[in-house]
Amino acid sequence: MTDNSVFQFLLCDLDDTLYRTHSGLMQAIGDRISRYMVEHVGISPDVTQQLRSHYHDEYGTSMRGLIVNYDIDPESYLGFVHDLPLEQYIQPSAALDEMLTGIPLRKVIFTNASREHARRVLRVLGVPYHFERIIDVRDFAFHSKPHPLAYQRGLRILGARPPQCIIVDDTARNLAPAMEMGMTTVLVGNGQPTDTRYLPGAVDLHIEDVLGLADAIQPLLASSGNTSAPGH
């Protein structure tokens, strides 16, 4: 955790972070990933789950594994796997809107998904105006968190130093490189941290629900001199 630094940026993961995991949206996206592997790549449905797990461990995402091993078109993949009726899974959240209003930092989405998907999710949640920028997998050169390149590119885009950043994610593995670089890390996750082999080293704070984020980081902001909220 950083000391005596003025925080400027809040980097938020999107899926399963800004909304609860039980929404079913990520499960639906996972089903679309399996369909893409079968219908567009020709992989046997008997091995898609095993292969997705391997790619997640090896590359961070299925997409990166498919790029490396099958030379897929990432744009085709992103369009297919995110083609879902989001309103069936998530709804506007006045509580999320209020919570984000209470955080006096420049807010950025930092996601392995596409910016189009991120915009749609933010619109459905009712909070797009809080986020000044979406840093997506294209900005990572189609690598994925937790690849260090993703964080390096994100910092370069923002013109930020790691100690100026608080990063929020539902996966401890995605927080480990950020902590190593000097960011302050917050794990979101229903009281059950995932990837426990990365704990506690990757996590400064752990909250059960993103709605507790403003209260959780308030002592950090107060001690570092963040006293006034910027415009949205």
Mean pLDDT of each 10-residue bin along the chain, 232 residues long: 72 96 94 98 96 94 96 97 98 98 98 98 98 98 95 98 97 94 92 56 89 97 70 41
User: Are residues 207 and 186 in contact, defined by beta-carbon separation less than 8 angstroms?
Assistant: yes
Instruction: Count Cα atoms within 13 angstroms, Cβ side, for 154.
Output: 35
pTM for this prediction: 0.91
**The pair of three-digit structure tokens given for residue 174, joined into one six-digit string:** 């995605």
